[in-house]
Amino acid sequence: MRRSTAWRVFAGEYNDASAVVKGDGERVPSYVITPLGAKINRLFIVGVLTDVESLAENNELVRAHVSDPTGVFALYSGQFQPDVTKSLLEIEVPAFVAVVGKARTFEPEEGMVYVSVRPESVYEVNPDARDRWTLETCKSTLDRIEAVKEGLKLSQPNAYDLTKMGYSRDLAEGVVKAINFYRNMDVEKYVALVKEALNYLVPEKGGEELPKVDVKTEEENKESDDVDDTVLAIIKEIESEEGALWDDIVEKCMEAGLDRETVEESINSLMDKGLVYEPVLGTIKTT
Amino acid sequence: MVDDVSSYIDDIVSMIGEDAEVEREELEKEFRRFLEYGVPPDQAKRTLVKKFSNGKKVEFRKLSEVKPNESNVNLLCRVVTVNPKEVKVRGEPRKIFYGLLGDETGVVPFTSWSSSISLEKGDVVEISNAYTKEWQGVVQVNFGERTSVKKVEDDRLPEVSHEPKPCKIADLHTAFGEVDVTVKILDVSEKEVDVNGEKKKVYVGTLGDETGKAQFTAWHDFKLKKGDVVRVVGGYTRFWKGIPQLTFDDRANVEKVSKEVEVSSKPVPLHKLVERRGGLDVSVEGTVIEVREGSGFIERCPECKRLIQNGECKVHGKVKGVGDLRAKLVVDDGTAGIGVIVGRELTEQLIGKTFEECKRIASEEGGEAVLRLLRERLLTKRVALRGNALGDEFGTTLIARDAKVVDLDVRKEALELLQKMEGES
């Protein structure tokens, strides 16, 4: 049996997954299908190990969390992986770690799916490794977004046509499954997720070779953060399922004492942070 | 809702024939009812065609439009080749047939699992109720117990001209029969071989195009020289662990062409390499996600070069081991993973430590220390590799001939990507 692919997926996408394909028989693996069609049996994560907790006596079950710029992976390691369990308990948190693991699911009741990771290997690494992984995962995620968009264009989404476009067989099958399983798929949410992660890699978008961005003092920064909080709160207050109209937001914020320019700037900044997005032109929705 | 219902109805009418005993209004009513229940329009169309055609008028499909995982496939085609094969199905011996079917649109492989079907090469046949699968990226037609095959008059189809298929090296694994390639000769040498007691000259070497490289064997002196660009029409491909080998003899048409062919050394995405199983002298890139046990400072038997454990060789017993350095990696680019074997010199370059230094570390701190060092230096790094890739049932393994760590300017790349995304939105 050939080795299964180690997918690069952000926690923000992985934790949204609720489609499970169960293999029957020993040698047929199970997969978790994410909303972007990653068909995951195994994954590769680099992030920050934030906590490790023993859930059973003699460290028979250990839970750990690994954080990336978009969310947190839950890891469960048990008595059948004594080496990995031991490594997890020995690492002093917080620490950068590289994890190869298997996708696991927990379904407490019908229709409710929690995904987690059963680590196969855990190694301590440096911050550069985390940055490389984040960049690579951004690229992988963008590839999947593209694949889903291509899949949605087909009158009858099918894996054969997608593989002919150059996507891997696993991704093509995953995308078809995702399109059929996740109704009203919100691809833009993951575009925002990638932007958030990329911004994380370029915290100060200054520098000579880059377009000029107003360099703000710390105080100004704090001030604009406060404005963002206010605007975000207003959006949350007035939005419906479809979001909130741009003009309504501006109006409400102006009532709250902000000027138009500041509000529009703040909505853009919230979009950059990935806290809100524009599902249709002129409508803003929180993520 | 579908606005062009009437165009679907037009399609249905044309498929079941104007003289079918059903009113257009009735068809439309049934069609809309399916749509109300959320049945996709194409599926509703097929269902109605099936219902009203009453099996009188069978729709034959062209081979070029057949897709994998279809059932109820009806074909009118010619049997291009057919061969028997003995297989075991659930422990029972069984005779099956495989070969090629052709029509004016193409040639596809088939397998007949049914014992009641008899086929002859050259027959024109009506096939009903076949099903399709996909094997290595190619559609394959299957005949099961419910499939029926009927021989019909020869003139129902033009003679299938089974011409060599124009092909790129990277697609050889999906080609059947003879191929037509335009390639550059990368090296060639003359060899004498013994064929049934008779000495024969063969010309062997490697060739390539912009998609990849292959080994070749020519059983005729075509005066090939290194650097020549030639079109070979009528060669056959075989594979050894996923490495393509092109064979041609005096029946092939080999001519020099003045076209320039750039032989690629661009990295191949790993899922493509794994799909092809292997490749000759391929370039790939990916991230090191594991440095396997058995990497680092190792000892080999001086007789057979096998790895020895506790000073003992499995074949030669107690021996004085000879030290060596190697890395066994798992490299994965997010689309697929492969094993990589890196020899002594390349490992030295990759980790920036000489064999002697590693030997000293091993003797002072133990072999585990060298493995730890390798993991520290290589895990999570992006590497560019080149070499032959061999496939077997456990996956694909690349034997590295070149290996280096790729320097990434993460911040710069992230910024470029961000600007590109902002430009698009």
Residue B243, domain member (yes or no) = yes
Rounded to an integer, the average pLDDT of B291-311 is 89
pLDDT for A26 beyond 80: no
Would you say B142 and B87 are in contact if contact means Cβ atoms under 8 Å apart? Answer: no
Q: How far apart are CA B412 and CA A40, in angstroms?
A: 30
Q: How many Cα atoms occupy the beta-carbon half-sphere of B218 within 13 Å?
A: 24
Facing residues of B241 across strands? none
Contacts of A167 (CB under 8 A, 6+ apart): A143, A147, A150, A175
**Does residue B175 have a pLDDT over 80?**
no
- The domain tally of chain B equals 4
Residue B163 vs residue B218, higher pLDDT: B218
Partner residues linked to A81 by β-bridges: none
Listed residues B156, B179, B203: the one ending a domain: B156
Res. A35: pLDDT tops 50: yes
Cα A26 from Cα B208, distance rounded (Å): 41
Residue B45 CB contacts under 8 Å (≥ 6 apart), including other chains: B8, B11, B12, B31
Pair of tokens at residue B354? 């000489």
Contact at CB, B394 and A3, closer than 8 angstroms? yes
pLDDT at B36: 86
**What's the one-letter identity of residue A182?**
Y
Q: Both B227 and B307 in a single domain?
A: no
Q: Residue B43 to residues A95, A282, B46, B50, B182: CA-CA distances in angstroms?
A: 54, 37, 5, 11, 43
Q: Lowest mean pLDDT: which of A77-81, A107-111, A133-137?
A: A107-111
pLDDT at A95: 95
Range of weakest confidence among A101-105, B87-91, B303-307: B87-91
Nearest to B414 among A7, A121, A198 (CB): A198
**Alpha carbon distance, N-terminus to C-terminus of chain A:** 40
Q: Name which of B132, B334, B246, B3 is nearest A174 in CA terms.
A: B334
List of chain B residues whose C-beta atoms are within 8 Å of the C-beta of residue A198: 414-415, 417-418, 421
Indicate if B293 and B382 belong to the same structural domain: yes
Query: Same domain for B139 and B74?
Result: yes
Residues 166-205 of B with CB under 8 A from A: none
CA-CA distance, B183 to B233, in Å (whole number)? 11
Q: Are A245 and A283 in contact, with CB atoms under 8 Å apart?
A: yes
pLDDT digits (tens, 9 = 90+) for B405-417: 999 999 999 999 9
Residues 6+ away with beta carbon under 8 Å from B225: B185, B188
Please check whether residue B301 lies inside any domain of the structure: yes
Instruction: Assess whether B303 and B395 both reside in one domain.
Output: yes
Query: B288 with B330, same domain?
Result: yes
- The rounded percent of chain A whose pLDDT value lies above 90 is 53
Q: Among all residues of chain A, which has the CA nearest to that of B68?
A: A160
User: Residue B57: its pLDDT value, please?
Assistant: 56
Establish if B422 belongs to a structural domain: no
Greatest alpha-carbon pair distance for chain B in Å reads 92
DSSP labels for B57-102?
A: S--PBPGGG--TT--SEEEEEEEEEEEEEEEEETTEEEEEEEEEEE
pLDDT at position A213 over 60: no
Looking at domain A6-181, its CATH class is: mainly beta
pLDDT for residue B1 is more than 70? no
Taking every pair of C-alpha atoms in chain A, what is the biggest distance, in angstroms?
65
Cβ distance A98 to A45 under 8 Å?
Answer: yes
Interface test mutation site (partner A, options B418, B421, B422, B424, max chain A beta carbons within 10 A):
B418
Please tell me if residue B289 touches chain A, with a CB cutoff of 8 Å: yes
Taking residues B98-114, report their average pLDDT: 85
DSSP state of B173: G
Cβ separation of A136 and B271 shorter than 8 Å? no
| Predicted local distance difference test score (pLDDT) of residue A28 | 65
Pairing of β B243-248 and β B212-218: parallel
Say how far apart CA A102 and CA A106 lie, in whole Å.
Answer: 13
State the pLDDT at residue A160.
87
For an interface test with B, the pick among A202, A209, A271 (most B C-beta atoms closer than 10 Å) comes out as A202
Percent of the residues in chain B that have a pLDDT greater than 90, as a whole number: 46
Q: Do B335 and A5 touch (CB under 8 A)?
A: yes
Label residue A232 by pLDDT band (50, 70, 90): confident
Kindly indicate the confidence band of residue B40, based on its pLDDT and cuts at 50, 70 and 90.
confident
Q: What is the pLDDT of residue A208?
A: 38
Are A53 and A77 a contacting pair, CB within 8 Å? no
Over residues B395-408, the pLDDT tens digits come to 999 999 999 999 99
CA distances from B159 to A62, B153, B178, B301 (A): 69, 12, 17, 62
Is position B329 within any domain?
Answer: yes
Over residues A175-194, mean pLDDT: 92
Is the per-residue pLDDT at B25 higher than 90? no
Nearest to B395 among A2, A7, A194 (CB): A2
B420 part of a folded domain: no
Q: Do A135 and B289 touch (CB under 8 A)?
A: no
Tokens linked to B66: 């057949």
Least confident range from A167-181, A184-198, A207-221, A225-239: namely A207-221
Identify which has the larger pLDDT, A9 or B262.
A9
Domain-embedded: residue B262? no
**pLDDT interval class at A41 (50, 70, 90):** very high
The one-character DSSP state at A21 is E
Same-domain check for residues B106 and B184? no
Residue A241 has pLDDT above 90, yes or no: no
Picking from A12, A275, A10, the residue whose alpha carbon sits closest to that of residue A130 is A10
Among A4, A133, A202, select the one facing B415 at the smallest CB separation: A202
- Tell me: do B99 and B181 sit in the same domain: no
pLDDT at residue A251 in the model = 81
Task: Report which of residues B10 and B54 the model is more confident about.
Answer: B10
Residue position matching structure tokens 């990336």: A68
> In angstroms, what separates the C-alpha of B387 from chain A's closest C-alpha?
20
Do both B122 and B28 map to the same domain?
A: no
Contact A119, A65 (CB under 8 A): no
Q: Where are the domains of chain A?
A: 6-181, 207-282
Question: What mean pLDDT is predicted for residues B125-143?
Answer: 86
* Per-residue model confidence (pLDDT) at position A99: 98
* Angular region, B214: left φ>0, alpha ψ -120 to 50, beta rest: beta
Across the interface, of B67, B68, B334, the residue whose CB is closest to A140 is B334
Helix (H) or strand (E) holding B276: helix B270-276
Q: Which of A128, A132, A198 sits opposite B417 (nearest CB)?
A: A198
Instruction: Identify the CATH number of the domain in which residue B108 sits.
Output: 2.40.50.140
In a domain, B293, yes or no: yes
In this complex, the residue of A123, A160, A171 whose CB is nearest that of residue B375 is: A123
Residue B3 φ/ψ, nearest 5 degrees: -85, -25
Q: Provide φ and ψ at B253, rounded to 5°.
A: -105, 115
- ipTM exceeding 0.90, yes/no: no
User: Which residues are within 8 A (CB) of B25 and not within 5 positions of it... i.e. 6 or more apart?
Assistant: none
Determine contact: B67 vs chain A, CB below 8 A. yes
Q: Which pLDDT value is given to residue A212?
A: 37
Give the structural domain span for B178. 165-256
- Short-list B37, B31, B38, CA closest to B9: B31
pLDDT tens digits for B196-232? 888 889 999 999 999 999 999 999 999 999 999 999 9
| pLDDT tens, position by position, A50-63 | 999 998 888 789 99
Percent of chain A with pLDDT over 70: 89
A243-279 tens-digit pLDDT? 888 888 888 877 777 777 788 778 877 877 777 877 7
Which residues contact residue B313 at a Cβ distance below 8 angstroms, ignoring those fewer than 6 apart? B301, B303, B304, B306, B319
Average pLDDT of every residue of chain B:
88
Please determine, for residue A225, whether its predicted confidence score (pLDDT) is greater than 90: no
Which residues of B fall within a CB distance of 8 Å from A274?
none
What is the pLDDT, as a whole number, of residue B35?
86
- Taking the Cβ of residue B132 and every Cβ of chain A, the question of whether any pair is shorter than 8 Å is answered with no
The 10 Å Cβ neighbour count of residue B421 is 15
Three-class DSSP category at B333: coil
> Residue B337 corresponds to which amino acid?
G
HSE-CB for A155 with a 13 A CA cutoff? 5
Q: Which of A137-146, B54-63, B96-105, B152-161 has the lowest mean pLDDT?
A: B54-63
